[in-house]
């Protein structure tokens, strides 16, 4: 039975999918199975993610920058849900506060868009899917790239992020993160290692999202 993301309208106390008991307040999100979802919908306590995509995104301060892939096709895919769309290398468009840098070679789950933007509007500076649970920094890139990364982060036994999908909040630290990331890219190293070096130098608050946010992750 598949789990779906829902948004809380009225306080909900429940056991989550991992067995922990907690109370969710209006505006919170959680995953639940179909049976629980139907009961909570009947009680008017939640909304299903698909039903709030348009409401959350069209009325919010949300911008997508398409950084790669088939730009025309990607624009057609997200235009019904997001009013501000740019393309090019990762950047902060003028007046944009909450941005998704999205390489369209990476599948995008529309049901998770509002949750991703919620993460960076509710305290986190960035929200990024992990690349793979069983792949660490020591497992990717060339020997030289790993050495450059080790000099910055010291221990390569850490997971890396999927840089094709980054939800980010614009502020002084994330602007510095972008500046360093683009500079590190000039080395030609694996982009995930370039990003890790910039990330460890700036140390913003990052929410590590599950690999399942990218639909073809294994």
pLDDT in tens, 124-149: 999 999 999 999 999 999 999 999 99
Number of domains in the chain: 2
The pLDDT of residue 1 is above 70: no
Model pLDDT, residue 53: 58
Nearest of 78, 138, 67, 144 to residue 113 by alpha carbon: 78
Distances (CA, A) of 76 to 82, 83, 99: 10, 11, 18
Phi-psi region of 209 (alpha: psi -120 to 50; beta: other; left: phi over 0): beta
Nearest of 7, 14, 16, 15 to residue 44 by alpha carbon: 7
| pTM for this prediction | 0.78
Range of the domain at 130: 61-213
The pLDDT of residue 4 is above 80: no
Query: Higher model confidence: residue 176 or residue 7?
Result: 176
Q: Are residues 110 and 198 in the same domain?
A: yes
Model pLDDT, residue 142: 97
Distances (CA, A) of 213 to 76, 82, 153, 196: 20, 18, 25, 19
Q: Are residues 172 and 81 in the same domain?
A: yes
Q: Are residues 116 and 206 in the same domain?
A: yes
* Residue 50 belongs to some domain of the structure: yes
Q: Are residues 38 and 127 in the same domain?
A: no
The pLDDT of residue 75 is above 70: yes
- Give me the percent of the chain exceeding a pLDDT of 70: 91
Task: Quickly state the pLDDT bin for 215 (edges 50, 70, 90).
Answer: low
Query: Higher model confidence: residue 217 or residue 84?
Result: 84
* Residue 130 belongs to some domain of the structure: yes
Query: Higher model confidence: residue 48 or residue 141?
Result: 141
* Residue 218 belongs to some domain of the structure: no
């Amino acid at each position: 039975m598949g789990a779906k993301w829902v948004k809380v309208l009225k306080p909900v106390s429940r056991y989550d999918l991992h067995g922990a008991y907690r109370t969710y307040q209006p505006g919170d999100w959680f995953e639940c199975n179909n049976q629980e979802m139907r009961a909570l919908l009947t009680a008017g306590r939640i909304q299903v993610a698909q039903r709030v995509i348009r409401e959350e995104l069209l009325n919010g301060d949300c911008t997508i920058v398409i950084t790669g892939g088939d730009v025309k096709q990607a624009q057609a895919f997200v235009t019904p849900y997001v009013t501000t769309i740019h393309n090019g290398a990762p950047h902060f468009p003028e007046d944009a506060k909450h941005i998704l840098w999205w390489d369209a070679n990476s599948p995008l789950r529309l049901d998770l868009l509002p949750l991703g933007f919620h993460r960076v509007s509710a305290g986190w500076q960035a929200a990024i899917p992990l690349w793979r649970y069983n792949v660490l920094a020591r497992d990717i890139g060339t020997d030289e790239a790993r050495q450059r990364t080790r000099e910055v982060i010291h221990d390569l036994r850490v997971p890396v992020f999927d840089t094709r999908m980054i939800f980010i909040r614009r502020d002084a630290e994330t602007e510095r993160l972008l500046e360093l990331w683009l500079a590190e890219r000039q080395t030609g190293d694996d982009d995930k290692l370039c990003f890790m070096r910039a990330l460890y130098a700036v140390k913003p608050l990052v929410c590590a999202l599950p690999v399942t946010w990218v639909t073809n992750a294994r």
